[in-house]
Structure 1
């Protein structure tokens, strides 16, 4: 009896060793790598906000796949996300999310960061933290080239004008600074806003300087109206800048991203933005 039990145990051990050996080999017979998988960095953006981010049909110029889609994302924000991932050996995943849903998605842990040309405001700081700035600009207005406001030099000159911008944006918050402005309901995005200006539905819109340059490059019948200091909008540096939004208290990720951003000089950022603006789909 003892011999039979001993033989049974030997057989069990031999079978176990065979299966253990198989588990350590791939289908090709080569050993399976024991290296840990790369960290995935999930980034949310609109993918419709050139030159910061947009949607295209292929991976040209270094565009990356949009998750759960056959399309690709590219733009200045995508390049910033790629550099953060390259510096840390992370895998980048881009998720296309409507503007109003970005912070909700971040705080629901559906994404790890928002890189979407987002300005830093006191209201947003209540629900998210931000990295250092990765882009800064001025605040301007856009009008039609034949508009009576095209030669305006101050906000005073826009008295009574019909003005709007993107809903829930920094720009929308600036409109009440225009004397006796006829503020119109906020619109969904830049494309819709520019159509409204071109059609005469509104007289002007407020945009960041970079976005405005992008808009007139694609629409030569539009013009930028900028202001001298003291004659334009009153805003903070954060409102005119863009940073990566992170969940509250995610200080480790914040420090990691800031380290990467610190290694990108202002000259390099300007050159990259100039290149990206020329590549945007609307400019073709």
Structure 2
């Protein structure tokens, strides 16, 4: 009889242990399943109000946008600051999963990366010093000294002007703020840059001594989020998230924060 009781107690203990292990395994599996996926996104934080650095923190329209997209889609996001020209190669090489940096969707870029649905309409504008009376439109740019940020459509436009008139001088800067500083000290006659960024610079910089002239051109310039060619899973995730934050009002709140204060 004692032997039977020992066998029964041992069996019950074994069953209890198995239930405990199963329960622990289930909780661990649930926690693993609940852990959100993570993507690494590159940006060039020298393009306010879209991206910049304040007290060591990345801030701006693009930063808030990608965080909102990832949050609504259940993803964690890590954002890395790097040179603008390094962004697309980093996406191609898998060093980052995506790039958001006021990046215009162009045919040339679409050959090497895939873009999300457009999230912002920009366009270019000419900036000159307040005392400049000779440049009033794109027709007046030939033969002048022009500046733009390296790798942007503003830089590409300056290069096209130089092709049309070789006497045109073009200076490229890694930071758009450096281009504006060159304009302020008289090193160039005009800066060609995205309209919202130029407007933000004039409104937020004391004694800027800079004005915008002419109409916004390249008005079909649209920003997109770049991902590696063929990464449809990530592209779909971003597009779905962008659609959701537009529908739930988050996009409008971010827009008003930076452009309708």
> TM-score normalized by structure 1?
0.74
Equivalent position to 2:230, from 249, 254, 276: 249
Deviations 1:108-128 (A, max 9, x none): 212111011100111111110
Q: For residue 160 of structure 1, give the secondary structure of its aligned residue in structure 2.
A: coil
Q: 1:276 to 1:33 in 2, by over 3 A?
A: farther
Aligned equivalent of 2:101: 116
Q: Which runs of 4+ in 1 moved over 6 A?
A: none
Equivalent position to 1:208, from 190, 194, 214: 194
Displacement of 1:182: 1.6
Deviations 1:190-247 (A, max 9, x none): 111110110100010111111111111123411111327xxxx5x472xx11000010
Displacement of 1:274: 4.2
| Structure 2: stretches of 5+ with no match in the other structure | 1-9
Displacement of 1:131: 0.4
RMSD: 2.8
Contact 1:120–1:241 under 8 Å retained in 2: yes
Deviations 1:3-43 (A, max 9, x none): xxxxxxx9xxx9xx8xx96xx59xxxxx7574232101211
- C-alpha separation in 1, matches of 2:168 and 2:142: 8
- C-alpha separation in 1, matches of 2:76 and 2:223: 23
Q: For residue 120 of structure 1, give the secondary structure of its aligned residue in structure 2.
A: coil
- C-alpha separation in 2, matches of 1:250 and 1:133: 17
Q: 1:236 to 1:217 in 2, by over 3 A?
A: closer
> TM-score normalized by structure 2?
0.80
Equivalent position to 1:55, from 53, 56, 79: 53
Point out which structure has higher relative CO (alpha carbons under 8 A, 6+ apart): 2
Contact 2:36–2:74 under 8 Å retained in 1: yes
Q: For residue 133 of structure 1, give the secondary structure of its aligned residue in structure 2.
A: coil
Displacement of 1:148: 2.5
Aligned equivalent of 2:254: 272
Aligned equivalent of 1:88: 73
